[in-house]
Structure 1
Amino acid sequence: MSSGEDIKKSVSDESDHMCNNCCKQMEGEKYASTLIDFKKSYIEGLKNKALVGETITFTAVVQPLIDDSTLGSVNLTTEVHYFTTGHYSTTQDIVIKKIMDSNNYEVSYVPRENGDHMITVMVEGHHLSGSPCKSTAWLRNYVEFQEKSYHMVANQEIKDPYGIDTGPNNEIAVLDYSNQQVVMFEKQKEKELKLTNTIAFKDDGKITKPHDIAVGDKIIAVSDWSNNIVKMFKLNGIYQHTIGSSKGDKDGQFKCPFGLAFNSKKILYVVDCSNYRVQAFDTTNNNIFCGKFGSKGSGPGQFYYAAYVAVDSRDLVYVTDNYNNCINIFAADGDHDFLGKIDSISPWPIAFTPDDYMLVADYKNDRLNVFSPPQQFSYKRYLITEVGKRGSSKGHFNYICGIAVNKEGIIYIAEYKNKRLQYISI
Structure 2
Amino acid sequence: MLHTILLIIGTIFIANIKGQSTVKFSSSCTVPICGVSNGGTSGSCSGSAPCFNFQSANETLCAPQVQCSLFDLCISGTRCATNTSICILNSCCSQPICMPRALASACVASNASATVYPPTYVTTTPPPSGVAPDTALVPIRPLSASIRLCNNATWDPNFSIISGADGATGRNATMFSNPYDVFIDQNNMIYVADYGNYRIQKFNTSSAIGTTVASTSPFQPTVIYVDGAETIYSCENAYGVMLYGRVQKYTQGNIYGITLLGGAGKCGAALNQLCGCSGIYADRSGSLYISDSENNRVLLYNTTTGSIALLAGTNGISGSQPDQLSYPGGIYVDENQTLFVLDGLNGRLQKFVSGNRTAISIPGVPMDFLYRNVVPMKGDSMGSLYIGGSYITRLASGSMNMSILFNASLVGSSRYWGNKNFVGVSFDTSGSMYTIANSMLVKLNLLSNTC
TM over 0.5: yes
Does the 8 Å CA contact 1:277/1:293 hold for their aligned counterparts? yes
Per-residue deviation, 1:277: 0.4
Work out which of the residue numbers 430, 433, 445 in structure 2 matches 1:411: 433
SS of aligned partner of 2:382: coil
Measure the CA separation in 2 of the matches of 1:338 and 1:167: 33
Which residue of the partner structure matches residue 387 of structure 2? Answer: 360
Per-residue deviation, 1:157: 3.1
The residue type equivalent to 2:155 in the other structure is F
Work out which of the residue numbers 106, 129, 152 in structure 1 matches 2:161: 152
Measure the CA separation in 2 of the matches of 1:371 and 1:280: 24
Which residue of the partner structure matches residue 239 of structure 1? Answer: 256
Per-residue deviation, 1:169: 4.0
Which residue of the partner structure matches residue 390 of structure 1? Answer: 409
Measure the CA separation in 2 of the matches of 1:326 and 1:171: 31
Does the 8 Å CA contact 1:57/1:106 hold for their aligned counterparts? no
Measure the CA separation in 1 of the matches of 2:440 and 2:322: 36
| 1:153-172 → structure 2 map (5 Å cutoff) | 153-155=162-164, 156-160=173-177, 161-172=179-190
**Aligned structure 1 segments of 4 or more residues deviating by more than 4 angstroms:** 91-97, 104-108, 193-196, 391-397
Measure the CA separation in 2 of the matches of 1:399 and 1:405: 18
| 1:111-260 → structure 2 map (5 Å cutoff) | 140=150, 142-147=152-157, 150-155=159-164, 156-160=173-177, 161-187=179-205, 192-193=206-207, 197-201=211-215, 206-218=217-229, 219-226=231-238, 227-242=244-259, 243-245=261-263, 246-260=266-280
Cα distance change on mapping 1:342 and 1:225 into 2, 3 Å: same
Identity of aligned residues (%): 19
Measure the CA separation in 1 of the matches of 2:292 and 2:217: 20
Q: Is structure 2 residue 393 aligned with structure 1 residue 369? A: yes
Cα distance change on mapping 1:224 and 1:384 into 2, 3 Å: closer
| 1:20-59 → structure 2 map (5 Å cutoff) | 57=19
Q: Is structure 2 residue 319 aligned with structure 1 residue 319? A: no
Does the 8 Å CA contact 2:378/2:386 hold for their aligned counterparts? yes
Work out which of the residue numbers 66, 75, 79 in structure 2 matches 1:78: 75
Measure the CA separation in 1 of the matches of 2:401 and 2:334: 15
Measure the CA separation in 2 of the matches of 1:171 and 1:288: 31
Which residue of the partner structure matches residue 340 of structure 1? Answer: 360
Which residue of the partner structure matches residue 112 of structure 1? Answer: none
**How many positions carry a matched residue from both structures?**
298
SS of aligned partner of 1:228: strand
Measure the CA separation in 1 of the matches of 2:149 and 2:155: 14
Measure the CA separation in 1 of the matches of 2:148 and 2:271: 44
Cα distance change on mapping 1:138 and 1:282 into 2, 3 Å: closer
Which residue of the partner structure matches residue 284 of structure 1? Answer: 304
Does the 8 Å CA contact 1:143/1:385 hold for their aligned counterparts? no
Per-residue deviation, 1:336: 5.3
Which residue of the partner structure matches residue 24 of structure 1? Answer: none
Cα distance change on mapping 1:249 and 1:412 into 2, 3 Å: same
SS of aligned partner of 1:302: coil
| 1:54-73 → structure 2 map (5 Å cutoff) | 57=19
The residue type equivalent to 1:255 in the other structure is C
Does the 8 Å CA contact 1:357/1:373 hold for their aligned counterparts? yes
Measure the CA separation in 1 of the matches of 2:311 and 2:384: 26
**Quick check: which has more Rg, 1 or 2?**
1
Measure the CA separation in 2 of the matches of 1:262 and 1:253: 19
Gaps of 5+ in 1: 1-54, 61-74, 80-87, 98-103, 109-136, 375-379
1:378-420 Cα shifts (integer Å, max 9, x gaps): xx432344323237855957222322234543322123xx111
Which residue of the partner structure matches residue 123 of structure 2? Answer: none
Cα distance change on mapping 1:184 and 1:424 into 2, 3 Å: same
Measure the CA separation in 2 of the matches of 1:78 and 1:328: 33
1:100-151 Cα shifts (integer Å, max 9, x gaps): xxxx98999xxxxxxxxxxxxxxxxxxxxxxxxxxxx975464543335x33
Hey, which of these two has a bigger chunk of strand by percent?
Answer: 1
Q: Is structure 2 residue 77 aligned with structure 1 residue 90? A: no
Measure the CA separation in 2 of the matches of 1:424 and 1:349: 18
Does the 8 Å CA contact 1:176/1:182 hold for their aligned counterparts? yes
Q: Which has the higher contact order (CA 8 A, sep 6+)?
A: 2
TM-score, scaled relative to structure 2: 0.57
Cα distance change on mapping 1:266 and 1:173 into 2, 3 Å: farther
The residue type equivalent to 1:221 in the other structure is Y
Cα distance change on mapping 1:173 and 1:244 into 2, 3 Å: same
Per-residue deviation, 1:59: 6.8
Per-residue deviation, 1:328: 1.0
Per-residue deviation, 1:271: 0.9
Gaps of 5+ in 2: 1-16, 23-56, 58-72, 99-146, 165-172, 239-243, 370-374, 447-451
Does the 8 Å CA contact 1:353/1:409 hold for their aligned counterparts? no
Measure the CA separation in 2 of the matches of 1:408 and 1:235: 25
Does the 8 Å CA contact 1:145/1:387 hold for their aligned counterparts? no
Does the 8 Å CA contact 1:208/1:224 hold for their aligned counterparts? yes
Per-residue deviation, 1:341: 1.8
Which residue of the partner structure matches residue 320 of structure 2? Answer: 298
1:42-73 Cα shifts (integer Å, max 9, x gaps): xxxxxxxxxxxxx854579xxxxxxxxxxxxx
SS of aligned partner of 2:294: helix
SS of aligned partner of 2:197: coil
SS of aligned partner of 1:301: coil
Cα distance change on mapping 1:392 and 1:77 into 2, 3 Å: closer
